[in-house]
């Protein structure tokens, strides 16, 4: 078990490399990995269950202890990234499917990778975890609403069905994981070291499935989508940091909010795009999964030197 835990930790620490490798495999062997497309929602549910196993009452106590800073982070998350997505779709010519996918990524909550990157950046990790938890809990209502308001001009949006899906694949697994902590604490403590392996496996399979199902679209417009995704992510970091600074948040908190804003739950975006739009709409989410882990690690290394 110790060896498996060490391997799990290694996989978690080399997350970006695994995502990049499986994206390449999905591109090279599309027929193999596109068969995983029907399992994307299930894989996301497993990932969210793992997140539920690690959420504690302390994370929600942090919200009560520092409501202002958490409020700044949550507001920045659900304002900056959706608006940036809209601006990019207006400035850069792209198909309706890709535009809807970019907006969908922007409307999702923060990703759990942001917590790791904040820790690496010597930022306020407790604030990052609190923001991720709150935005994830808000996602069933906020994400469908934002997608309906901002993306319906590109593709039809079934906000009610999307709300129900997020409840099933995000909140229900989170709740089950949180309940397992209370009912089976010893078993959960033994399982927690394995969670990086489970989470990384789920994400890389989602990315490979989306890439495999969308190889044609990637060949046709992959460079443009990558440019949009990279701009979206990098501007999210920058504007998130500046917004936190204007709001009077300290340096450690600015690091946390910048990373929280820039790193999205792209797995959720890929699952929703696949379920309600098309594989092409999921391509920005797949590319975001690869890119934001690379950019996040680079940014965290640079921010760690700012004290």
Structure tokens of 202?
């789920």
Q: What is the phi-psi region of residue 155: left when phi exceeds 0, alpha when psi lies from -120 to 50, beta otherwise?
A: beta
> What is residue 138's predicted lDDT score, i.e. its pLDDT?
92
> What is residue 75's predicted lDDT score, i.e. its pLDDT?
94
CA distance 189 to 182: 11
Percentage of the chain surpassing pLDDT 90?
31
168-207 in b/e form (b: 16+ CB < 10 A) is ebbbebbeebbebbeeeeeebeeeebbbbbbbbbbbbbbb
> What is residue 105's predicted lDDT score, i.e. its pLDDT?
93
Q: What is the mean pLDDT of residues 120-129?
A: 86
Q: How far is CA 63 from the centre of its chain?
A: 20
Relative orientation angle of helices 251-262 and 125-151, to the nearest 10 degrees: 40
Residue 12 has pLDDT above 70, yes or no: no
> What is residue 215's predicted lDDT score, i.e. its pLDDT?
82
- 158: phi then psi, degrees, rounded to nearest 5: -100, 85
**Are the C-beta atoms of residues 188 and 3 closer than 8 Å to each other?**
no
> What is the CATH topology of the domain spanning 34-304?
Na+/H+ antiporter like fold (1.20.1530)
Contacts of 252 (CB under 8 A, 6+ apart): 122, 123, 124, 127
Name the average pLDDT for the chain: 86
Q: For the whole model, what pTM was predicted? A: 0.85
Residue 1 has pLDDT above 70, yes or no: no
- 220: phi then psi, degrees, rounded to nearest 5: -75, -45
Q: How many CB atoms are located within 10 Å of the residue 35 CB? A: 12
**Are the C-beta atoms of residues 73 and 244 closer than 8 Å to each other?**
yes
**Are the C-beta atoms of residues 93 and 227 closer than 8 Å to each other?**
no
Tell which wins on pLDDT, 95 or 182. Answer: 95
Residue 67 has pLDDT above 70, yes or no: yes
Q: Give kind and range of the element (H or E) at residue 22.
A: helix 15-28
Helix (H, G, I), strand (E, B) or coil at 110: strand
Which tens digit of pLDDT belongs to each residue from 19-55? 788 888 988 898 888 888 888 888 888 888 887 787 7
| DSSP character at residue 108 | S
Which tens digit of pLDDT belongs to each residue from 220-272? 777 898 899 999 999 999 999 999 999 999 999 999 999 999 998 888 888 88
Return the domain boundaries, the chain: 34-304
Q: Give kind and range of the element (H or E) at residue 73.
A: helix 67-91
């Amino acid at each position: 078990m110790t060896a498996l835990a060490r391997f799990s930790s290694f996989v978690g620490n080399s997350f970006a490399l695994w995502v990049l490798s499986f994206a390449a495999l999905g591109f090279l062997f599309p027929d193999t990995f596109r068969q995983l497309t029907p399992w994307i929602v299930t894989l996301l549910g497993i990932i969210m269950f793992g997140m539920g196993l690690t959420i504690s009452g302390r994370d929600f106590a942090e919200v009560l202890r520092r409501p202002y800073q958490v409020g700044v982070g949550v507001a920045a998350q659900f304002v900056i990234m959706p608006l940036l997505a809209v601006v990019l779709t207006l400035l850069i010519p792209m198909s309706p499917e890709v535009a809807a996918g970019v907006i969908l990524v922007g409307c999702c909550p923060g990703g759990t990778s942001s917590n790791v990157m904040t820790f690496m950046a010597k930022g306020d990790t407790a604030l990052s975890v609190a923001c991720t938890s709150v935005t994830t809990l808000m996602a069933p209502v906020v994400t469908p609403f934002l997608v309906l308001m901002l993306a319906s001009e590109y593709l039809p949006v079934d906000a009610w069905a999307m709300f129900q899906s997020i409840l099933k694949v995000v909140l229900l697994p989170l709740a089950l994981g949180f309940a397992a902590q209370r009912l089976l604490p010893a078993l959960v403590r033994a399982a927690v070291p394995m969670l990086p392996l489970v989470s990384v496996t789920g994400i890389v399979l989602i990315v490979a499935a989306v890439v495999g199902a969308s190889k044609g679209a990637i060949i046709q417009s992959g460079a443009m989508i990558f440019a949009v995704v990279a701009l979206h992510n990098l501007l999210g970091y920058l504007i998130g940091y500046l917004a936190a600074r204007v709001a009077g948040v300290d340096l450690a908190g600015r690091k946390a909010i910048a990373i929280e804003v820039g790193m999205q739950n792209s797995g959720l975006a890929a699952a929703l795009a696949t379920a309600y739009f098309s594989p092409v709409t999921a391509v920005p989410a797949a590319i975001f999964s690869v890119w934001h882990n690379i950019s996040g690690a680079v940014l965290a290394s640079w921010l760690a030197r700012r004290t």
